Amino acid sequence: MNWLDKTILSVAPAWGAKRVKNKIIAQQMMGYDAAKPGRNRKMKVDNRSGDTAVYGSAESIRGQARYLDENHDLVVGLLDKLCQKVVGPKGIQIEPMPFSVTGEKHEEFAKQLSKYFEKLSMAPETTGELTRGQMENLICRSWLRDGECFGKFVEGNVANFKHNTQIPFSVELLEADFLPFTRNDNSNIVQGVERNAWGQPSAYHFLQNHPGDTLGYSSKTFRTPADRVLHLKLTNRLRQARGMSILHSVITRLEDLKDYEESERVAARISAVLAAYIKKAPTDFGAKEADGDRLFSMAPGMFFDNLMPGEEIGTIQSNRPSALLQPFRDSMLRAVASGTRSTFSSISGQYDGSYSSQRQEMVEGYAGYESLQNTFIAQWSRKFYRRAISLGIASGAIDVPFDVDTDTILNAIYICPVMPWIDPDKESKANERNIQMGVSTEAEVIRSRGKNPQELKRQRLQEIEFNKENDLIFSSDARHELQQAAPAEQPEQGADNAE
């Protein structure tokens, strides 16, 4: 409000108020149409911060998602498929990539790192019940379903605890419930996360026990420095402290679909029971009924010969399940797939269509999977690997050669589940042409299949040496082609004459 409006309001309040109101209306008319309320449009806005929005919703949505994971077959299959695509049955495969001071990959040191990490992967978490692949699958499921999960590093000698491997390094796995949303401090603690003025986590305040336990629960929290915590979370807002379930936008749709399918199943069961009725002529309603109860036995091909005059038998037609069930269910599943970064085919189990259409869906779907893979690697796998290697070097379990570039010791390639082949013949030929043209490498193709190039070549070398020693030649051996191309031996000159 400028000085003129203030002056007019002081002299003529009614006129001044009307003038200001008209100015506001005029400004609204000049803005975006989407910001104006309409007769047939419900305008909903949410200007809360990400932390405020999560605070009032995350626990409820997390509980609903867990219930669906326990009782809804579609959600079980959806989470299973996402875990298979993000981390795979063996977990994220890690290939160490240290370099020598001359700029080449240090193969010997890479083998030493792989052997060390392989030992740790046998039982990396505190309970000793899970391998690294199993651990990452459970972590991935908790992360996607609950929106977040945690890991606490346990290093060195700890009272009343023994590491499950010879390596003094383990990780304690914690569900999202261990970090209470109610742990807040206006100064620097938000929903259990202690942050500095720049939003960087400096510590986490965990409960000692799961709040869902019936015995031994305590509301007391313990402060754990952020450098000892792995926090894997799904966020869609900037500076959001806690994560939100990937099912948050499709829970209502999934519940409706579950109720509708159950109704159709019940209706189909009712319709499967054949029901009949006796139709009487209007003039026979006052006629005398037959004495006693009338019983009709139903059997295939039977005849009714004890009907009263004017009566006939009618049956109630069954129209369940509805013919619209399948298209409706498919449309709902497509919406669920879109809201969870998955694909319709993987959720529904329907793999119809041509090669091109299936590949197009798979390519677009794997863009969503790769986004989740990158988040999982950045927030979990890379931090876990680097922490384990650093501890191995500090404890003397890893011997660093003098010719290794120290800046590359922690370098590694993280191999995730890759897009499967739809037509192996076409795709293998395409990879072969790419290598011949120099636009791809053998290692790149091997990694695209989710395998470790060095391990594959090591096995291949062993096979070649074994075949040579035992004089075995297969079609994959170049010697086979040389033998096929070699000219046949010419018979001796005197052989024909002798005949």
pLDDT tens readout for residues 20-53: 777 776 666 566 777 776 667 777 888 888 899 9
At 161 the pLDDT is 93
The C-alpha R_g of the chain, in whole angstroms, comes to: 35
66 contact partners, CB below 8 Å, separation of at least 6: 145, 146
* Same domain, yes or no: 153 and 213: yes
At 427 the pLDDT is 77
Mean pLDDT of 470-482: 70
* Same domain, yes or no: 127 and 199: yes
For 134-168, give one letter per residue: b (16+ CB within 10 A) or e.
Answer: ebbbbbbbbbbbbbbbbbbbbbeeeeeeebbeebb
* Same domain, yes or no: 205 and 152: yes
At 492 the pLDDT is 53
Residue 319 domain flag: yes
* Same domain, yes or no: 77 and 189: yes
> Which pLDDT tens digit goes with each residue over 301-329?
677 677 777 777 777 666 777 778 888 88
DSSP 259-302: HHHHHHHHHHHHHHS--EEEEE-GGGTTSPPPSS-------TT-
Mean pLDDT of the chain: 84
Residue 307, both tokens = 């009907």
Could you tell me the CA-to-CA distances from 372 to 85, 153, 325, 344 in Å, in that order?
A: 9, 23, 32, 17
276 contact partners, CB below 8 Å, separation of at least 6: 296, 298, 313, 314, 315, 316
* Same domain, yes or no: 129 and 277: no
154 strand-pairing partners: 170
Domain boundary, last residue among 420, 440, 457: 420
Task: Report the range out of 12-16, 110-114, 301-305 with the highest average pLDDT.
Answer: 110-114
Residue 358 domain flag: yes
490 contact partners, CB below 8 Å, separation of at least 6: none
Residue 405, both tokens = 């570039």
* Same domain, yes or no: 399 and 316: no
Q: State how far the Cα of 335 lies from the Cα of 337, in Å rounded to an integer.
A: 5
**Which has more pLDDT, 420 or 116?**
116
* Same domain, yes or no: 333 and 349: no
Q: State how far the Cα of 449 lies from the Cα of 460, in Å rounded to an integer.
A: 16
* Same domain, yes or no: 305 and 238: no
Residue 57 domain flag: yes
At 499 the pLDDT is 39
pLDDT at 468 over 50: yes
Structurally, the chain folds into a number of domains equal to: 3
Residue 72 domain flag: yes
Which amino acid, residue 193?
V
Q: Which of 341, 323, 343, 324 is nearest to 333 (CA)?
A: 343
154 near 126, Cβ under 8 Å?
yes
At 155 the pLDDT is 94
Mean pLDDT of 321-339: 87
Residue 48, both tokens = 């809360």
Q: State how far the Cα of 112 lies from the Cα of 96, in Å rounded to an integer.
A: 9
What's the gap between Cα 309 and its chain centre? 69
Min mean pLDDT across 212-221, 260-269, 345-354, 449-458 is at: 449-458
Q: Which of 147, 303, 140 is nearest to 240 (CA)?
A: 147
Q: State how far the Cα of 185 lies from the Cα of 343, in Å rounded to an integer.
A: 42
| DSSP code for 398 | S
**Which has more pLDDT, 350 or 336?**
336
Q: State how far the Cα of 355 lies from the Cα of 378, in Å rounded to an integer.
A: 34
Percent of the chain with pLDDT over 70: 86
At 61 the pLDDT is 95
Cβ-in-10-Å burial (0-12, 13-18, 19+) of 91 comes to buried
Residue 195, both tokens = 């942050």
Residue 440 domain flag: no
Residue 373 domain flag: yes
Q: How would residue 421 be classed by pLDDT, with cut points 50, 70 and 90?
A: low
Q: How would residue 185 be classed by pLDDT, with cut points 50, 70 and 90?
A: confident
Q: Which of 146, 142, 150 is nearest to 83 (CA)?
A: 142
Domain boundary, last residue among 401, 420, 439: 420
3-state secondary structure of 98: coil
Residue 149 domain flag: yes
> Which pLDDT tens digit goes with each residue over 378-405?
999 999 999 999 999 998 999 999 999 9
* Same domain, yes or no: 229 and 273: no
Dihedral of the CA atoms 486, 488, 491, 496 (nearest 10)? -160
Can you give the residue range of the structural domain that contains 5? 1-36
pLDDT at 226 over 80: yes
Which sign does the torsion angle of CA 178, 179, 182, 183 carry?
positive
Identify the H or E element spanning 382. Answer: helix 382-395
At 28 the pLDDT is 60
Residue 129 burial (CB count, 10 A):
10
What's the farthest any 2 CA atoms get from each other in the chain? Answer: 139
DSSP 464-482: HHHHHHTT---TTSHHHHH
Which amino acid, residue 272?
A
* Same domain, yes or no: 334 and 344: no
Q: Which of 206, 201, 195 is nearest to 151 (CA)?
A: 206
* Same domain, yes or no: 243 and 391: yes
Dihedral of the CA atoms 434, 438, 443, 448 (nearest 10)? -30
* Same domain, yes or no: 135 and 185: yes
pLDDT at 197 over 70: yes
pLDDT at 1 over 50: yes
Dihedral of the CA atoms 211, 214, 215, 221 (nearest 10)? 10
